[in-house]
Amino acid sequence: MHITVVADLKTTLGENPLWDADTQRIFWVDSLGRRLFRATADGQEIRAWDFPASIGSMALRHGGGAVVALRTGVFMLDFHTGALTRVVDPGHDRAHLTLNDGKVDRQGRFIFGSMVVDAAENRFAALYRLDTDLSLHRLRGGIGVSNGPCWSPDGCRFYFSDTHSNEMMVYDYVTAEGALSRGRPFVTLPCDGTGRLDGACVDAEGCVWSAHCGAGQIVRYQPDGTIDRVIQMPVRRVTSVAFGGAGLDILFVTSMAHGLQPDAVADHPLRGALFAVHGLGVTGMAEPRFAG
């Protein structure tokens, strides 16, 4: 196994790596920098799109372009012109909440969540489902920071983390309806400042790869929740993961250049870079496209 730097762009808050198997390109966002990036697997041909608000996540569309979750709502992005077309406004309190991590399920629906951006009491984020007819549905509430939505290979198990409570849940996923049932804890980490559950993905063997932000670790969990492997990254504040490359055997890892807390410990000079982990001996799965 070895780790390389794909692009050292010093993203303020790098997130949401996404491999496009059709064009063989890696996408990722700088959430607070309000930018979306695209590059080849080795970091060449970098292209960027700017947004008027922070971006939490994006997903590619069957019809071209992308669906993006911004602080101000969900939009369609035209890659050629950079134009944004509003799809829906979840009606969240923008003074205290912003939209965050999201992915597409096997049926082509966009699942995304919101997060609390300050310490205001009695304010909670939520998890949403955007259907292919562009109707919006609230799946659950009571969330601090939505992160790491991903599915088992058969699409019947849904994993989801609340970075605030440091707990990853697993649900039975009703594929016909896009509904959640029988939620139970999958992984719980102590809230002691050593690491926070952040972005995640599932490999072809059904194991969950989770970025532990603050600990600088990528952890592979077996379907029963036991730890299978731990990868120590060059930087502490790793944020999310995605498999890509021609053989879907490269794990791309995003990171943040600046800690979100004023007392955050100084990180490695490569903070904010996009990394690639090679030689893991496992492969991921191609991410579905939004069918709306």
CA-based R_g, the chain, Å: 17
Q: How many angstroms separate the CA atoms of 61 and 65, rounded? A: 6
At which residue do the structure tokens 């509430």 appear?
Answer: 141
Binding residues: 15, 100, 118, 147, 198
Phi-psi region of 122 (alpha: psi -120 to 50; beta: other; left: phi over 0): left
In degrees to the nearest 10, what's the CA dihedral of 190, 218, 16, 63?
-130
Q: Which residue positions form the known binding site for a divalent metal cation?
A: 15, 147, 198
Catalytic residue selected from 30, 101, 105, 198: 198
272: left (phi over 0), alpha (psi -120 to 50) or beta: left
User: Residue 150 in contact with residue 159, Cβ under 8 Å?
Assistant: yes
Which parts are annotated binding residues for substrate?
A: 100, 118
Active site residue 198: yes
CA dihedral over 256, 192, 231, 146, signed as positive or negative: negative
User: Helix, strand, coil shares of the chain as percentages rounded to 5?
Assistant: 0, 50, 50
Lookup result for tokens 């849940």: 169
Strands 274-278, 238-244: parallel, antiparallel or unpaired by DSSP?
unpaired
Place of tokens 């400042």: 193
Q: Three-state SS for 9?
A: coil
Whether residue 148 contacts residue 160, with contact meaning beta carbons closer than 8 Å, is answered with yes
């492997």: which residue's tokens? 229
Which of 243, 251, 239, 247 lies closest to 276 in space, CA to CA?
251
Taking phi over 0 as left and psi of -120 to 50 as alpha, with beta for the rest, 234 belongs to alpha
Residues involved in catalysis: 198
